[in-house]
A = this chain, B = another copy of it.
Amino acid sequence: MTNSCSEEASILYTLYCINKQISSKFESCIGMSQSRHDILQQLYQVDEISQTELQKKVNIDSAAITRHLKQLEAVEMILRRKNPEDNRFTLVCLSDHGRKKINSYQAEKARFVTLVFKDFKEEERQELMDMLTRIQNNISQV
């Protein structure tokens, strides 16, 4: 363990490493970043949605959303238009072509996720999720 003295610090460091490793493997397996996959996933589940709404769901900066969507638009995965009732809003939806491609991404993601949690029993996953949620609560109070 390279990080430090305390056991807690080691856990923190491991979390940090795991995340880096997951990001990296995710991208090489699925062919896009977790964030971008998440955006597409959200779009898949709705008909049309405003950027702000989308931003709240995927929990990344609105500037980042803009940039992702511009690129996705450029490769014709998505379509954008102004909301005619309120021109401040931009409505986003998957293109037909985009919607089709996502199925294959989903399959690959499912496979990936299964590998990450190989040999985890249901109750262990439950426990892990509980602990992570507790950590999340702790952090939010820092």
Question: A residues engaging B (CB < 8 A)?
Answer: 2-4, 6-22, 25, 29, 34, 38, 41-42, 57-59, 109-110, 112-120, 124-125, 127-129, 131-136, 138-142
Contacts and interface: CB of A to CB of B under 8 A. Distances in A.
Given A4-B41, A38-B2, A136 B12 contact: no
Which has the most chain B C-beta neighbours within 10 Å: A13, A34, A120, A139? Answer: A139
Contacts of A10: 129
A124 B109 CA distance: 29
Report copies per complex: 2
Among A4, A59, A114, residue most surrounded by chain B Cβ atoms (within 10 Å): A4
Contacts of A115: 138-139, 141-142
